Structure 1
Amino acid sequence: MPSTVPAERRGMLTALGLHRPELRAWAMYDWANSGMITVITTAVFPIYYVQVAGAGVPAAEAGVRYSIATTIGLAIIAVLAPILGTLADYIAIKKRMLATFMGIGVTATALMFLIQRGDLMLASILFILANIGVNGSFVFYESLLPHVAREDEMDRVSTAAYAMGYIGGGLLLALNLAWILKPGLFGLPSGEGLSSAQATLPTRLAFLSVAVWWVLFSIPLFRRVPEPPVTRESDERPGQSPVGVAFQRLGETFRALRGYRQAFLMLVAFLIYNDGIGTIIRMATIFGTELGIGRGMLIGTIMIVQFVGIPFAFLFGTIAGRIGAKRSIFIGLAAYVGISIYGYFITTATQFLILALFVGMVQGGTQALSRSLFASMIPRHRSGEFFGFWGVFEKFAGIFGPLIFGLVLSLAGSSRTAILAIASFFLIGGYLLSRVDVEEGQRVARAEEAAVAGGVIVPG
């Protein structure tokens, strides 16, 4: 049936990597969960955690507790991810598992509305659950990428999804910032003499809005993206439960990584340099608060970063089409080294804004191309298993970075030394990435796909 989309728009969508309905629906999940990333993980909740939930606790100590809560949530999902990813390959439940973890995250963020002054324990528990929810959903969301996009489309589709996330996150954060700074315009309590509950109501409503946003914009994925079929027959191991087979395949997949040396090396490189990226993202507002930058300025800066990230995410996709994903990632890592060094010296809100703008220019493109580069080096029929391990490495990156940041912060009493130390992650990770032979990794993955399609039994 001929397409009803005008030729000009089809050309633009093709250039962006969003030319088919299932590609757009998949990318919309980045838009959907972006509220969790911008409002809860990056901009609003960290400030609320330190200043309201952590009232009466020194800011540095509250920052350490925030780091610990982050570490716990990511450690839990790091253990679960490969098991559940393998299970999802075996019985085709990627979308169902995505929905389950999304439900955990949505519920936790909605319940953040209940956090009042001094509720540090409640804030920590809900933040842990929110991290489990969003990062667990990422495992299954990302494992769908090689099923919805062809190999030559993955870089563009992945970067387009990140750009969609920037747009969605930026719009919701702008709306939240408006009613937090000008609550009276929205009919919310304002002025002098407010109770603690009244004063915090706009921010707590922002947390509730994240849950609504997340659910609403996830609908296209569940409607348009099909559940990938199981390539290996379920009767392959008769008499065994799916969970038992999942554990067996998990061990097999880990051993089989020896046959995917380039993909495994990519995982290790990503573990290290994404440690630095994740730490900068998660600890930005903690650092800004320590510098004495006001809440409105902090949230506004993060919002600006979101919109700066939109064109640069698309730009990275275009650059990757010309020089390759690997070289494009190197550009991002080099920029991050400069960002880490510059961060050590900043003392003013203007300098913090400049730092944030540089982060916005390279953040989305670097992470998106890492995802698509890895996806190109794994066999599609084992995407759940391999992205389960991707999730483990990604989450352990999230564990070590904040943990080291919190340790250095507690020892030095300042975030400056911690930020400077992060540069080492980009240097080491970049070196390991330089050792990855992308063409060889892609050749091995396509060879296994061909063998499976031809009915050949492939070890592991």
Structure 2
Amino acid sequence: MFKQLKGQFNKAEWSWMFQDWANSAYSLMITTAIFPIFYKSVADAGGISGADSTAYLGYTNAIATVLTAVLAPFLGTSADYKGYRKPLFTISTLLGIIAVFSMMFIGNGNCFLLLVVYAISSFGFHVANIFYDSSIMDVTTPERLDQVSSTGFGLGYIGSVFPFLIFMVFQLTGIFPANVTVNIGFLLTAAWWFIFTIPYWKNVNQVNYLEKTEGIIQTTVKSLTATVKELKKYPHIYLFLFGYFFYIDGVGTIIAMATSVGTDLGLSANELIIMLLVVQIVAFPCSIMYGYLARRFGTRTMLFVGIATYIVICIFGLSLDSFTDFMILAVLVGTAQGGIQGLSRSYFGQIIPREKSNQFYGFYNIFGKFSSVLGTTILGVVAQITGDSLKGLFALIVQFSIGAILLYMAKPSKSYTN
């Protein structure tokens, strides 16, 4: 598949897509795999119950995403001006990398300090993605957005498997004590993220931008205010954003909380790691396939397919009681996870004014991040009240359904990418 892909993208497109390869190591190693398992062991050692520790992790995800969401429009608007996007991207990326590296120095028993550092890393990761997502408009044409975005997600899924497998070798062989192995995982993630961001720093440059006429803060505030008013001209944009708010919530909640819920249901660390690996491997070809299918059947159609798949996942998830069930769920998640994320990103790029891409992607990220607050908080509250993390899936089914309805209503009358 790599040979088939090689000649289809130019240098800037490859460099942009490899940022997905770089930062997806964080998504798998920290958000989904190593950190939740390590955090659970630290919480258990500190006498915190499974349901409570799951809730605290959900609340931490909520706090980090609220902070990101509040700042997203301002940061996105600032990055629309010439010379600001890459420095802002670099600062937020390095913040996330340094926070991951710092996790190596937090020993057992520091459960809440660990959550603070995790929140900082999550903030850096998500803020960097505001600038990364919008920069797709600088490396490709409107006709290629679906293919580039979906392939980026596909590369991210398969790329993150490599540091994950290295970590697995150390864990399964038991060469080092458990705490040293976890620290190796943190180091691998930070190094992988930094090294494979270098092509982006070298080859992705801001092509679409606005000239600032006053101080950056004053100019940004004025532009942000004008954009909020301007959204009234684009009903398809705000309808899509509200739909995205609901359906991407389920995706983000499942990514952030899957291993924690699995631990509560009695799965071992090795079983959880195998499940996550299956998701990554299945997601690689399926993410790329979504991009090709979008060219044939339309981006919106494939988004509906992704949403429908997740509703099936939630219904099936209500009766999970074995490792086999989790493996079936992992395959289903892998078929849709990258596709729905990649096509949401590219579809938004197709319906917004091109010269204000950072600004509009700031709004795109605020809706995505606030939806993560809703899902993780609901799951945390339900887990504490009922002692059953799976019951929160009822709320996700409703949210996916609302998202589909709003997406249906959000069909634009014309393209705004020219």
Q: Give TM-score, length-normalised by structure 1.
A: 0.88
Q: Does 1:378 align with 2:356?
A: no
Match 2:227 to one of 253, 259, 265: 253
Alignment of 1:222-261 (within 5 A): 222-230=201-209, 232-235=210-213, 240-261=214-235
Partners of 1:229 and 1:406 in 2: how far apart?
Answer: 41
Counterpart of 1:246, as a letter, is T
Q: Which residue of 2 aligns with 1:212?
A: 191
Alignment of 1:152-301 (within 5 A): 152-184=143-175, 188-189=176-177, 199-230=178-209, 232-235=210-213, 240-301=214-275
Q: Which residue of 2 aligns with 1:196?
A: none
Q: Which residue of 1 aligns with 2:103?
A: 112
Alignment of 1:408-427 (within 5 A): 408-427=382-401
Q: Percent identity?
A: 33
Partners of 1:11 and 1:120 in 2: how far apart?
Answer: 46
Look up the SS of the partner of 2:48 in the other structure: coil
Counterpart of 1:212, as a letter, is A
Deviates more, 1:392-401 or 1:172-181: 172-181
Partners of 1:87 and 1:346 in 2: how far apart?
Answer: 45
Deviates more, 1:103-112 or 1:170-179: 170-179
Partners of 2:414 and 2:102 in 1: how far apart?
Answer: 44
CA displacement, residues 74-104 of structure 1 (integer Å, 9 cap, x when unaligned) = 1111111110111111243111111110011
Counterpart of 2:337, as a letter, is Q
Q: Which residue of 1 aligns with 2:26?
A: 36
Q: Is the 8 A contact 1:74 1:132 kept in 2?
A: yes
Q: Please report how far the alpha carbon of residue 12 of structure 1 lies from its aligned counterpart in structure 2 after TM superposition.
A: 4.1
Q: Is the 8 A contact 2:43 2:53 kept in 1?
A: no
Q: Does 1:69 align with 2:47?
A: no
Q: Which has the larger radius of gyration?
A: 1
Q: Please report how far the alpha carbon of residue 54 of structure 1 lies from its aligned counterpart in structure 2 after TM superposition.
A: 4.7
Q: Please report how far the alpha carbon of residue 144 of structure 1 lies from its aligned counterpart in structure 2 after TM superposition.
A: 0.5
Q: Does 1:348 align with 2:338?
A: no
Q: Please report how far the alpha carbon of residue 10 of structure 1 lies from its aligned counterpart in structure 2 after TM superposition.
A: 8.6
Q: Please report how far the alpha carbon of residue 229 of structure 1 lies from its aligned counterpart in structure 2 after TM superposition.
A: 4.7
Q: Please report how far the alpha carbon of residue 441 of structure 1 lies from its aligned counterpart in structure 2 after TM superposition.
A: 4.7
Partners of 2:153 and 2:2 in 1: how far apart?
Answer: 20
Match 1:390 to one of 361, 364, 368: 364
Q: Which residue of 2 aligns with 1:87?
A: 78
Partners of 1:137 and 1:104 in 2: how far apart?
Answer: 9
Match 1:324 to one of 291, 298, 304: 298
Q: Please report how far the alpha carbon of residue 9 of structure 1 lies from its aligned counterpart in structure 2 after TM superposition.
A: 8.7
Q: Is the 8 A contact 2:137 2:208 kept in 1?
A: no
Q: Please report how far the alpha carbon of residue 52 of structure 1 lies from its aligned counterpart in structure 2 after TM superposition.
A: 2.0
Partners of 1:389 and 1:12 in 2: how far apart?
Answer: 32
Counterpart of 1:145, as a letter, is I
Q: Which residue of 2 aligns with 1:337?
A: 311
Q: Which residue of 2 aligns with 1:360?
A: 334
CA displacement, residues 107-130 of structure 1 (integer Å, 9 cap, x when unaligned) = 110011122222111111111101
Q: Is the 8 A contact 1:10 1:19 kept in 2?
A: no
Partners of 1:223 and 1:145 in 2: how far apart?
Answer: 15
Deviates more, 1:384-393 or 1:44-53: 44-53
Q: Please report how far the alpha carbon of residue 27 of structure 1 lies from its aligned counterpart in structure 2 after TM superposition.
A: 0.2
Q: Is the 8 A contact 1:268 1:393 kept in 2?
A: yes
Look up the SS of the partner of 1:347 in the other structure: coil
- Of structures 1 and 2, the one with the larger relative CO (CA 8 A, separation 6+) is 2
Counterpart of 1:136, as a letter, is V
Change (3 A) 1:201 1:155: same
Look up the SS of the partner of 2:205 in the other structure: coil
Unaligned ranges ≥5, structure 2: none
Look up the SS of the partner of 2:351 in the other structure: coil
Q: Is the 8 A contact 2:208 2:354 kept in 1?
A: no
Moved over 6 A (4+): 8-11
Q: How many residues align?
A: 417
Q: Please report how far the alpha carbon of residue 53 of structure 1 lies from its aligned counterpart in structure 2 after TM superposition.
A: 4.4
Q: Does 1:45 align with 2:21?
A: no
Partners of 1:314 and 1:434 in 2: how far apart?
Answer: 24
Q: Which residue of 2 aligns with 1:453?
A: none
Partners of 2:120 and 2:147 in 1: how far apart?
Answer: 32
Change (3 A) 1:212 1:9: closer
Match 1:97 to one of 88, 97, 105: 88
Look up the SS of the partner of 2:80 in the other structure: helix
Q: Please report how far the alpha carbon of residue 19 of structure 1 lies from its aligned counterpart in structure 2 after TM superposition.
A: 1.5
Counterpart of 1:200, as a letter, is N
Partners of 1:302 and 1:374 in 2: how far apart?
Answer: 28
Q: Is the 8 A contact 2:138 2:206 kept in 1?
A: no
Q: Is the 8 A contact 1:343 1:420 kept in 2?
A: no
Counterpart of 2:166, as a letter, is L
Look up the SS of the partner of 2:321 in the other structure: coil
Partners of 1:328 and 1:275 in 2: how far apart?
Answer: 18
Q: Is the 8 A contact 2:68 2:127 kept in 1?
A: yes
Partners of 2:414 and 2:251 in 1: how far apart?
Answer: 25
Look up the SS of the partner of 2:75 in the other structure: helix
Q: Is the 8 A contact 1:34 1:168 kept in 2?
A: yes
